[in-house]
Amino acid sequence: MEKPQITQAMINAYDEYTHLSLDRRAFMRTLTALSGSAAAAAAIAPLLAANSAQAEIIPEDDARVKTEDVTYSGAGGDMKGYLVRPADAAGKLPAVIVIHENRGLNPHIKDVARRMALEGFVALAPDFLSPAGGTPADEDKAREMIGALDGKQTVDNAVATVTYLEGNDLTTGKAGAIGFCWGGGMVNKLAVASPDLKAGVAYYGAQPPAEDVPKIKAALLLQYAGLDDRINAGIDAYKKALTDNGKDFTIQIYEGVNHAFNNDTSAARYDKKAADLAWSRTVEFLKAKVV
C-alpha cells in the first residue's frame, strides 16, 4: 500500500483539533472529506499524531546521563519532574527547564531533556499536570486537563521551578527554559513572571500581551514555523513591544515548515533540517545566556 498523501489542509485540521475547536469526531469527519474516504482518514490520522514509540533518541538507560524523578514545592502543592544531568559532570552546571507541549510530560519531552543534558546542562522537565494528578497516557485526556489548569497557578509553578533549580546543589544557580507549543507559550509567560530567568527559547509559542513585555528580564530566542499562521499572527506585535522596550531577543522563522516541526515523533509535521538548525541555535543561545 502506498503511503497516504498528506496535504497542508489535513495538517491545519489536525492543528485545529489539538489546539482549537474540533473534537475527535469532527476532526475525523474533516479528515475523511479531505482524504476521500474513511479508510484513508484512518491511515492518515496516525501520521499526523505523535507516535510515542519513536520518542527515544537518547535511551533512558544511556550511560552518558543520570536521570531521576524529583518532587519539589510548587504553588500550593508538590510539583513532579524528570531531572537529567550528564553522568560525567565535574562540578555544577547551568540549568534548563524543558517545558512540554499540551500533551503533558510524555516520553518525547523526557527524551528532549536527555538531549539537553548531553549538551552540558542540568535539565528538568516538570509535569505541569502535577496539580491534576500527573500526565495520563491518553493524549486527548492530557489536552483536556491542560485546558482545565488554573492559569495563574501554572505560571506560579513555572516560577517555582526556577527557584528550585536556583537552589539545587547540582546547578550553578542559573536557569534558562525551553518550551514547545503550549510550552513555548509558557516560556514567554515565565519570562514575564520571573526576573530570575536568564534565557528562554520558545518554539512556536503564543506571545504575551504587549503590556507585559516591560517585565521581561530574560534573553529570548523565539523560533517559529513559517506555515503556522495561528501562532505567527502575534509575531509583529510581540517584536514591536520587545524592540520598544529594549529587550534582548532574536526571532527565527523557518519557512515552509509546520507548527511542531521539532517533534520527531510526528511523521507529517517533523522537519529534520529545520529541527536540527533550530536545536543548534538553541544550544548555542543557552550556553551563551545561562551564565
pLDDT digits 0-9 by tens, 16-62: 777 656 677 877 788 788 777 878 778 777 777 766 545 578 989 99
Residue with cell 537518547: 58
pLDDT digits 0-9 by tens, 102-145: 989 999 999 999 999 999 999 999 999 999 999 999 888 998 99
How confident is the model over 266-275, as a mean pLDDT? 85
- Give the list of residues 6+ apart from residue 230 with CB closer than 8 angstroms, or none: 15, 19, 20, 259
Report the phi/psi class of residue 256: left, alpha or beta, with left for phi > 0 and alpha for psi in -120 to 50: left
Whether 273 and 217 map to the same domain: the answer is yes
Domain assignment of residue 106, given as a range: 52-289
Per-range mean pLDDT, top range of 49-53, 72-76, 211-215: 211-215
pTM here is: 0.87
Q: Are 99 and 191 in contact (CB under 8 A)?
A: no
Check pLDDT > 90 for residue 200: yes
122-127 vs 171-180, strand pairing mode? unpaired
Whether 118 and 237 map to the same domain: the answer is yes
Whether 150 and 14 map to the same domain: the answer is no
Which domain CATH number covers 282? 3.40.50.1820
Whether 131 and 76 map to the same domain: the answer is yes
- Closest by Cα among 108, 110, 143, 137 to 15: 143
- Answer whether residue 2 is part of any domain: no
- Give the list of residues 6+ apart from residue 254 with CB closer than 8 angstroms, or none: 223, 224, 225, 226, 261, 271, 274, 277, 278
Whether 165 and 184 map to the same domain: the answer is yes
In the chain, the number of structural domains is 2
Identify residue 206 by its one-letter amino acid code.
Answer: A
- Answer whether residue 1 is part of any domain: no
